[in-house]
Chains A and B, each alone.
Chain A
């Protein structure tokens, strides 16, 4: 029994570590979509954040500066999406893909000189009071600051969205821009802020991956995590609290893949590697009825985006 719980907890915390970057993007993109804008470019923003974070951490020797720089990089790139969508009225899906390719190219290009650099990491909770907690200490010890920050963001976002007036206007922008206008506010301001916040979170997520989790940079290292996160936003019904189990689902399937291999399970690692993509897809399929019944939870403004392909 004890072996079983140890294994389960190991898996859970491995899933959490693996899920953190994805969770951060889900939270950011959920906020963006709550204002009625979808941004597929989060994948590119994540890559650019990862590269910038790593490069700055390498050059300055300070990983926290790297994380900060990554956030700014994410915001900067997201502004391209904002200019295209809000400024020029371009199609959101197309613009997102453009941002994705741009971020991917820029990070590969400017990241090349930094490959192989060694950086200091953010440290973890080992050797603090946390790791001395009986039983759980060994699992809580390896937790790093980015995990904590991301977890804290969940209640913060929830309070903002559902308990503040600004949050209310934010959400109403996603439901109907007219309502917001009638209330005397410019919906574009909220959408701009939403896109920027998404940029911040995806840049942060990239730093969590490169500066924190792997302390390394390789081009394309996000491997589609940003795009999966966009799907997970729907799985999470645009609710920050549901984002955690949604992201954990992804992280668990990744961790499971490796765990199964190390247990000697006889399934091809490639088939196992499809799990992180199939599981969110299955959840999307299964939640059909629930979505229909409750109206989906999708901000109405978003529905229009998905229906047009100009």
Chain B
């Protein structure tokens, strides 16, 4: 090594041991792992990988479908990231999504004959209320009764899904749907605007705007700084007049509200009604994305797009290689594991 290259090598190593290096390593390992997964299963690894990427971003249709998946993932990820800023580990995105859909649908059914400019805000308010409720309940359980929020949100997820099933099979079932458990079709005034001729809808815009607002609030505002203090030392925060309990309720409610918007968006635009099977695991995916992003609101945006692409491309895997849908879940999990491992190791290295 000459004296000229030494500083370059040193700089490269320094860069690699930082976050940039971590991302590089993660991406490399993930690509290798994906190729290996395809190869182990007897498929043409490289061409299948290409097919996957094309299926996610290849043409305008594929890209639009990716964005359709991005919206709910983005919102549920925010629903995890905000409470995480206070040190809360909420896995409740799925339940909050369902409750938002439930309350939003309730608003639509109650005001079904109203014109759009009344119906739409009612629907959105209802959805936010429902999602916020399903966030606040675990929050209250934690502050008043010491119930761990991870467990309570997990259990409430299942309850939320069942509540939707209840109304859809019972009181809100469309009498004209021949017994098929679903509500009536949403009137046009209750369907969120979509872009061009695709299924991409306003929910995506809500999500991006919310991410930006949250970022600014949490990093720049007094309240945001109060959150950080509250998290690291609730007692110190209390003496400064910041109530930990109140912050718990706020973050859980706001997070739930966002997930609730995801829910009503799915019901309104994608399904055009409320029914079972509204959201296939977006809550869990949102959790993964929030963690992948290190709970950073802005980073969540591109990561949601990537994850949306991964899920949307799952059909190309089945279509071209007869790989079952579950392969997308495996890849999702592999990605998460790789990121967790590399991020933790990198973090460790720097502190030692």
Residues of A within 8 A of B (CB): 40, 80, 83-84, 87-91, 93-95, 97-102, 104-106, 108-109, 112, 219, 224, 227-228, 230-231, 234, 268, 270-271, 273-274, 277-278, 280-281, 284-285, 288, 291-292, 306-309
Contact = CB atoms under 8 A, between A and B. Distances in A.
Contact of A98 (B88, B159, B340): B340
A193 to B, nearest CB: 21
A179 to B, nearest CB: 23
B154 interface: yes
A234 B336 CA distance: 27
**For the complex, would chain B's binding face be called helix, strand, loop or mixed by DSSP majority?**
helix
A84 B337 contact: yes
Nearest to A273: B162
Contacts of A274: 158-159, 162-163
Interface residues of B, number: 48
B159 A278 contact: yes
A108 B324 contact: yes
A308 B295 CA distance: 13
A89 B332 contact: no
A102 B330 contact: yes
Given A308-B87, A309-B89, A284 B147 contact: yes
B152 interface: yes
A109 B158 contact: no
B155 A228 contact: yes
B348 A89 contact: yes
B28 interface: no
Contacts of B150: 40, 93, 306
A221 to B, nearest CB: 14
B333 A98 contact: yes
A227 B159 CA distance: 13
Interface in B130-172: 141, 145-148, 150-152, 154-156, 158-159, 162-163, 165-166, 169-170
Contacts of A105: 326-330, 332-333
Contacts of A112: 324, 326
**For the complex, would chain A's binding face be called helix, strand, loop or mixed by DSSP majority?**
helix
Nearest to A291: B146
18 contacts: A84-B337, A90-B341, A93-B89, A94-B291, A98-B333, A99-B333, A101-B284, A102-B334, A104-B326, A105-B330, A108-B325, A108-B326, A268-B170, A273-B165, A288-B145, A288-B146, A308-B87, A309-B84
Contact of A231 (B87, B154, B324): B154
A90 B87 CA distance: 16
A101 B288 contact: yes
B341 A84 contact: yes
Contacts of A228: 155
Contact of A97 (B84, B145, B169, B284): B284
A88 B341 contact: yes
Contacts of A280: 155
Given A99-B333, A100-B284, A284-B148, 19 more contacts: A90-B341, A90-B344, A94-B340, A97-B291, A98-B336, A101-B288, A101-B332, A104-B333, A106-B330, A108-B329, A109-B330, A112-B326, A274-B163, A277-B159, A284-B141, A284-B152, A291-B146, A306-B89, A306-B150
Interface string B198-239: 000000000000000000000000000000000000000000
**10 closest residue pairs by CB, A with B:** A105-B329, A108-B326, A102-B333, A105-B330, A270-B166, A109-B326, A88-B344, A101-B333, A90-B344, A288-B145
B148 A234 contact: yes
A165 B340 CA distance: 35
Nearest to A288: B145
Interface string B156-190: 10110011011001100000000000000000000
Contacts of A83: 341
A285 B145 contact: yes
A231 B155 contact: yes
B261 interface: no
B18 interface: no
A233 B81 CA distance: 26
Interface in B335-349: 336-337, 340-341, 343-345, 347-348
A255 B163 CA distance: 19
B340 A84 contact: yes
B91 interface: yes
Nearest to A223: B158
A227 B162 contact: no
B54 to A, nearest CB: 22
A306 B91 CA distance: 13
B297 interface: no
B287 interface: yes
Given A84-B344, A90-B341, A284 B336 contact: no
Given A95-B340, A227-B154, A271 B162 contact: yes
A287 B26 CA distance: 43
Nearest to B157: A224
A309 B88 contact: yes
A309 B295 contact: yes
A33 to B, nearest CB: 12
A97 B341 contact: no
Contacts of A285: 141, 145, 147
A284 B158 contact: no
B151 A88 contact: no
B187 to A, nearest CB: 26
Contacts of A88: 340-341, 344-345, 348
Given A97-B91, A231-B151, A271-B166, A109 B324 contact: yes
Contacts of A230: 151, 154
A281 B152 contact: yes
A237 to B, nearest CB: 14
Contacts of B327: 105, 109
Interface in B297-334: 324-330, 332-334
B252 to A, nearest CB: 13
A296 to B, nearest CB: 8
B145 A98 contact: no
Nearest to A308: B87
